Amino acid sequence: QIKGIRIRIHPTFIGLLILCALAGLLTRALLVFGLVILHELVHVLAARSFGVKVRSIELYPYGGTAVLEDSFEGRKMEESIIAFAGPAFNFSLFLFFQYLRWEGIIQGTWTLELVKINFWLACFNMIPVLPLDGGRIARAFFAGTFGFVKTTKFLAGAGKVLGGIFIMIGFFLQAYEFVMLEPPVFIVLGVFFWLGSSKEMQNARIVFLKQLCRKKERLLHQGLMQSVC
């Protein structure tokens, strides 16, 4: 735990770290682990700036998820800023370390890894599908028009499709021995998308029920609905 926030590591994230270590990419594995934690802590800071408490941080191969105590349906600005904070942080690090490399201030293989991983985390997370940050931003802007649950189902379904594509690419690369492109990483990411998208669909139903309860409480408070004993 970090200041009362529980850190949960998803099995797919551990799988990715193991794959990197077995492939002799221990430096990359450690960099990914550290940058993903920083990515999520930025989400936490953004959430706390809006007075939102964070229950836990779940780490995944693409980044992670900050589990908040409340949902953000109908609050597009807050959800967008919190979701965008992580990729923006990684892109800022990408520009910073790339500038230092161009100026010759830092050199070495590890600096190139820092640049590549930050760029990958920033761009990959902005793909507009759930459970990525880009999907959360898209949901924030379209939920008001199409409904929170419907928008979540569509974006989560798109995430499953992307996951299936990643799995097929991974097996294709493995079959034709394109080992330099690291086929197992594609397969792990594809499995994650399937699991993460399913979880987003389940959470959407829970959020919908909470939304109905809050609307009922407001109507009761305003005297526009009679309570049934």
Catalytic residues: 40
Which residue matches tokens 């759930």?
130
Task: Provide the sign of the torsion angle of the four alpha carbons 81, 84, 89, 94, taken in this order.
Answer: negative
Strand order in the sheet with 63-68: 6-9, 54-60, 63-68
Instruction: State how far the Cα of 151 lies from the Cα of 204, in Å rounded to an integer.
Output: 9
Q: Which residues pair with 5 in a beta bridge?
A: 2
Contacts of 124 (CB under 8 A, 6+ apart): 62, 63, 132
Instruction: State how far the Cα of 38 lies from the Cα of 44, in Å rounded to an integer.
Output: 10
The dihedral over CA atoms of 201, 206, 209, 214, expressed in degrees to the nearest 10, equals -120
Tell me: cis bond preceding 131? Omega within 30 of 0 counts.
yes
| 8 Å CB contact between 220 and 227 | yes
